[in-house]
Structure 1
Amino acid sequence: MEFQALDGPVTVNIPTASDLEKAVVTRFETGEGFALATINLDHLVKLGQDAEFAAAYRAQDFVVADGNPVVWLAKLAQQPVELMPGADLVVPLAEMAARSGVTVALIGSTEASLELAGMALCARVPGLVIATRIAPPMGFDADSAAANTLLRKIVDSGAGMAFLALGAPKQEQLAARGRVVAPGVGFAGIGAGLDFLAGSQKRAPKWVQRLALEWLWRLLSNPARLVGRYAHCIAILPRLTRDALRLRRSNGDSAG
């Protein structure tokens, strides 16, 4: 599924969880790193406005669908993808790392949350080794000398994969930079995934997630921060719907 961004398209190139596992395990086996992004409506808003963010996204090796609207748009375009939120990928990716003998780094949040998240993750994934935990300071710039220092610390720790819990656009920009500075490390942007594991943030209950209402749960939890963001997301839906229908027609013409 392709979405238009500044200077060109961004593609959801990993449609299923099975495809993601094959791709990640192959990188672990070859010692080649990767950058994994989870695209959602907020990212699509940013991709249409921020050239640096768009460039960082195009540096990602793997892009999966995070958010039901992205899944619905892909279905409308007849290019179906599975829902794979970043928070849901933490444990499966950790399991892949443990089976492959790859140690991991936890990056982002706070030192206290990283400690708790690490304990929770190790309890759920036997054999997992956490090589390092790094909580960058407030105002951390993913395009700075400090970012290079952080990336070198990850490499020096021996970690083969780093969970980036920095939020967009920082985690995608750091992953893109990591593909140059630390090409043997896999970088996975997982948003609040570590805070959910630590319990420092509360995720919507499963029944809310099943009803595709997690966005409403978040909005009601923090309306001052999210009303503007969600308004921008809603505003781009008509254009995205038109684009999906155009792709659908194009697919139909190709099939004919």
Structure 2
Amino acid sequence: MKSKYFLGIRFWNDKTESLLVSADKTGGLFTVPSAPSLGAMDNDFFLARAYRASDWAVVDGGYVALILRFCLGQSIRRISGLQLLQRLIGLGHNHPVPMEDRKILWVVPNANEQDSICNYLSQGNFELGKQHFYEAPLYKSDAEFSDQKLLAEIKIINPDWIIICIGGGRQEKLGYFIRQHFEQFVRKPVILCTGGAISFLTGTQASIPTWTDRLYLGWLMRIFSNPRLFGARYLDAAWRFPKLLWMSRKCLFAEGAEAGI
């Protein structure tokens, strides 16, 4: 079985390579939930709806994977956002999808992030002419995710992949908005919502060694890199995520709307 439901979200439960190849063939919304964002679902209906509408989703957080395995007796393969980006565009990594041939629209928070992505890709075999960028506004309210300017850019560019590099729980909502307008596009792109993970490749934030990510310690490296931001985020998740599990205990592994979140 290649997928399992958890909290109403269908999670991929197979190899990373086959996941990326499948997503590249069919397109769709691709989310990467971690404990902080999952814990926020109980009082953020928009976020919960975005996760449930995902065509592709992976368990990103080591905390989530450990809770699943040791507390709930379930095993869902953990694939981090960093791992996904490494397998897609990482220097020195095998790419199961020929991203060098794909037209990519990067949704970035600022011009500095755009420059760092361009600098990183220029070290590989990526044509910068196939890289397109959209500097996203702050999206201070849910209504602001209805970004008509972004839709217009997508129609013009007609990308194969849209990689959303804004974080803070906004990437999934923006991705969901784009997904709702697939019928307006010539092709159905992959909308990959990896948030700020790209910064660990480009060097905008301190890089995360591969071994720490695979040992479920990426969260700790993030805290070291920015204690004020990530320390508060993971401390909040330490109680909000278990609280959500308790509230949903009767339907943790039900499908879709049956999960009752």
Q: Do Structure 1 and Structure 2 share a fold, with TM-score over 0.5?
A: yes
Other-structure match for 2:144: 144
Measure the CA separation in 2 of the matches of 1:156 and 1:86: 28
Q: Distance in 2 between matches of 1:243 and 1:125?
A: 48
The alpha-carbon distance between structure 1 residues 194 and 2, as it changes in their structure 2 partners (threshold 3 A), is: same
1:93 to 88, 94, 97: 88
Please, which of 227, 231, 236 is the counterpart of residue 235 of structure 2? 231
The equivalent residue for 1:21 is 20
The answer to whether the 8 A contact 2:12-2:19 is kept is no
Q: How many residues align?
A: 241
Identical residues among aligned pairs (%): 21
Candidates 27, 45, 67, aligned match of 2:39: 45
Structure 2: gaps spanning 5 or more residues: 90-94, 255-261
* TM-score (structure 1 length as normaliser): 0.78
- Write out aligned runs for 1:103-142 (5 A): 103-126=103-126, 130-139=130-139
2: distance between equivalents of 1:55 and 1:242? 20
> Hey, what does 2:259 align to over in structure 1?
none
How far the C-alpha of 1:240 sits from its partner, in A, is: 6.8
Q: Once superposed, what is the RMSD of the aligned Cα atoms?
A: 3.3
2:57 maps to 63
Contact 2:34–2:64 (Cα < 8 Å) also in 1: yes
Code of the residue aligned with 2:22 in structure 1: it is A
Alpha-carbon distance, 1:164 to partner: 0.1
For residue 253 of structure 1, what is the aligned residue in structure 2?
A: none
1:254 maps to: none
Q: 2:248, 2:76 → 1: CA distance? A: 13
SS in 2 for 1:52: helix
Deviations 1:130-169 (A, max 9, x none): 3411122344666437612112202311211111011142
**Segment drifting more, 45-54 vs 82-91:** 82-91
SS at match of 2:43: coil
Partner Cα separation in structure 2 for residue 200 and residue 179 of structure 1: 29
* 1:213 counterpart = 2:217: yes
CA distance in 1 between partners of 2:170 and 2:241 (Å): 24
Q: How far apart are the structure 1 equivalents of 2:179 and 2:245?
A: 33
- Amino acid aligned to 2:133: R
What does residue range 68-79 of structure 1 map to in structure 2 within 5 Å?
Answer: 68-76=62-70, 77-79=72-74
Instruction: Name stretches of at least 5 consecutive residues in structure 1 with no aligned partner.
Output: 28-32, 251-256
- Aligned partner of 2:202 in structure 1 is 198
Task: Name the aligned partner's letter for residue 17 of structure 2.
Answer: S
Structure 2 counterpart of 1:154:
154
